[in-house]
Chains A and B, each alone.
Chain A
Amino acid sequence: MGLETIVTSLPRLLDGLRVTIGLTVFAVCLGTILGLLLALGRSYGKRALSLFINLYEKIFRGIPLLVIIFIIYFGPSQIGFNLDPFSAAILSLGLRSAAYQAQIFRGSIESIPEGQISASYSLGMTKIKAIRYVILPQVLRLSIPGWSNEFTILLKDTSIAISIGVIELMRQGRYIYVREPDLALAIFLLIAFIYFLLVITTNKSLSYLEKKYRMAGYQTEAHR
């Protein structure tokens, strides 16, 4: 009976997996775009902007994800603005990830020597062009390792969306084991395995990207 239930429940879990992947993709896009803008704003923006961004990063890194999700999901409904759980989860994961990603990107920006900007200016590039063609391509390459790490964390943290009723992988698993409590452990292990596979495969592809776009001569000893 047990094995059979697990096999028949697989499609359910895959449905959940699809939602988990959806959450991850949307949240990571939001986090990366916003994170990059925050990092650039903090490094190249006016002082007031930089202070504001600093505050944003502090706030979102200082609050547990569960609290952020509750605030973003339940908060607006109190003033009559209802957010569906899926969007609320994406927003929460994305806004928090942006704060962490901004740190990753800023670290890369600061590691780029001042001379790269001077050289860009000396060719007649505007600040925007210098950032677009000289700084950003280097920042993105240098950020891949840190970014992969953040991506993995975000992927796993999508499971917290269960708390506001998003029907993702964990929630689908829950549907199964509440009906068959004896299978709880097996289902948890299966879910763990699915997450694990997902993380391993994405990490593999990201380290491939890292190798492919590595700046020649800039690899660290560990990579050789």
Chain B
Amino acid sequence: MHMLEVKNIHKSYCKVEILKGVSFTMEKGETKVIIGPSGTGKSTLLRCINQLSPPDKGEVWLDGEEVTNPKTNINKIREKIGFVFQDFNLFNHLSALRNISIGLEKVKGIEKEEARKRALEELHRVGLDAQAQQYPAQLSGGQKQRVGIARALAMDPDIILFDEPTSALDPELIGDVLDVMKSLAGKVAMLVVTHEMGFARNVADEIIFMEGGVIVEQGPPKEMFTNAKLARTREFLGRIGALYGEEETGG
């Protein structure tokens, strides 16, 4: 049994089919990176997995439970699926610390003091001990995103979905966020939509290339970067490589 199994996902918005049958699987602790041109449905796919936008057709299974089944308690499942947003979506009225502890308290029912302690540990993990009491509007983009990651991590999920986590950041802030993500590799499964080819090449166990609502090609980074089977994949990787650079931290 795979930890995550995505089967033949279809999703349309306003009669335009965005996802046209996407299937793949993920194992415990695995890191997969989804790449592909804009408007290909990468973000939609992530939102289908945790049912923020339920798919029209197809199934998602996590740990042997059918996520897409209307009878499944989706809130319980979402505790196991962390989500990191492109524009952070931190809770504006809460400090960095409370952003992390609120899920522990109100969803997991952990006592306030214990939740606080665990939130502090997560902040330490992403290198933001000093920012615990600051509010989102007082943090830089990179700090916000690290709080976003800490918030997801605190729930102790099986997998974290990253929806272009560095796309809204200034280039000099991207590195810190990618470093945090790298440090998680192997500890928690990560499914990452990104244009950071350095991260894809160095951290991913597998790269999934999507275009036009389907998976065009997938494979280990080495193979994909040096020896992709399809001309289209090679062309895209070449172009994106030139655009975003391929050094360790991307930008």
Query: In the complex, how many angstroms separate the beta carbon of B25 from the nearest chain A beta carbon?
Result: 22
Residue A76, interface by CB 8 Å? no
Residue B34, interface by CB 8 Å? no
Query: In the complex, how many angstroms separate the beta carbon of B167 from the nearest chain A beta carbon?
Result: 14
Residue A185, interface by CB 8 Å? no
Residue B137, interface by CB 8 Å? yes
Q: How far is the CA of A215 from the CA of B136 in the complex (A)?
A: 9
If A129-B106, A133-B102, A215-B137 touch, does A122 touch B52 (CB 8 Å cutoff)? yes
Residue A149, interface by CB 8 Å? no
Chain B residues with CB under 8 A of A121: 52, 75, 78
Interface residues on B, range: 20 to 34
If A217-B136, A217-B137, A218-B137 touch, does A123 touch B107 (CB 8 Å cutoff)? yes
Partner of B85, one of A115, A124, A126: A115
Query: 8 Å CB contacts to B: which residues of A196-221?
Result: 215-218
Query: In the complex, how many angstroms separate the beta carbon of A28 from the nearest chain B beta carbon?
Result: 23
Residue A141, interface by CB 8 Å? yes
Query: 8 Å CB contacts to B: which residues of A95-143?
Result: 113, 115-116, 118-126, 129, 133-134, 137-138, 141
If A123-B103, A217-B137 touch, does A113 touch B91 (CB 8 Å cutoff)? no
Chain A residues with CB under 8 A of B152: 122
Query: In the bound complex, do residue A122 and residue B78 qualify as a contact, i.e. CB atoms below 8 Å apart?
Result: yes
Query: In the bound complex, do residue B107 and residue A118 qualify as a contact, i.e. CB atoms below 8 Å apart?
Result: no
Query: In the bound complex, do residue A141 and residue B89 qualify as a contact, i.e. CB atoms below 8 Å apart?
Result: no
Q: How far is the CA of A138 from the CA of B106 in the complex (A)?
A: 17
Q: How far is the CA of A217 from the CA of B91 in the complex (A)?
A: 13
Query: In the bound complex, do residue A115 and residue B87 qualify as a contact, i.e. CB atoms below 8 Å apart?
Result: yes
Q: Which residue of A lies closest to B107 (CB)?
A: A124
Query: In the complex, how many angstroms separate the beta carbon of B67 from the nearest chain A beta carbon?
Result: 13
Give a binary string over B34-69; 1 marks a CB under 8 Å from any A CB, 0 the rest: 000000000000000010100000000000000000
Query: In the bound complex, do residue B92 and residue A119 qualify as a contact, i.e. CB atoms below 8 Å apart?
Result: no
Query: In the complex, how many angstroms separate the beta carbon of A169 from the nearest chain B beta carbon?
Result: 38
Q: How far is the CA of A137 from the CA of B93 in the complex (A)?
A: 7
Chain B residues with CB under 8 A of A126: 75
Query: In the complex, how many angstroms separate the beta carbon of B70 from the nearest chain A beta carbon?
Result: 15
Residue B81, interface by CB 8 Å? yes
Q: How far is the CA of A116 from the CA of B87 in the complex (A)?
A: 11
Q: How far is the CA of A121 from the CA of B87 in the complex (A)?
A: 16
Query: In the complex, how many angstroms separate the beta carbon of A197 from the nearest chain B beta carbon?
Result: 33
Query: In the bound complex, do residue B138 and residue A216 qualify as a contact, i.e. CB atoms below 8 Å apart?
Result: yes
Give a binary string over B69-95; 1 marks a CB under 8 Å from any A CB, 0 the rest: 000000111110111010111111100
Partner of B92, one of A118, A122, A218: A218
Q: Which residue of A lies closest to B86 (CB)?
A: A115
Q: How far is the CA of A172 from the CA of B75 in the complex (A)?
A: 58
Query: In the bound complex, do residue A119 and residue B90 qualify as a contact, i.e. CB atoms below 8 Å apart?
Result: yes
Residue B151, interface by CB 8 Å? yes
Residue B155, interface by CB 8 Å? yes
Query: In the complex, how many angstroms separate the beta carbon of B140 from the nearest chain A beta carbon?
Result: 12
Query: In the bound complex, do residue B78 and residue A123 qualify as a contact, i.e. CB atoms below 8 Å apart?
Result: yes
Q: How far is the CA of A115 from the CA of B87 in the complex (A)?
A: 8
Partner of B75, one of A115, A118, A124: A124
Q: How far is the CA of A108 from the CA of B165 in the complex (A)?
A: 28
Residue B225, interface by CB 8 Å? no
Residue B135, interface by CB 8 Å? yes
Chain A residues with CB under 8 A of B103: 123-125
6 A-B pairs in the complex with CB atoms less than 8 angstroms apart: A121-B78, A122-B52, A122-B81, A124-B107, A129-B107, A215-B92
Chain A to chain B: the 4 pairs with minimum beta-carbon distance, closest first? A217-B137, A216-B135, A115-B89, A122-B83
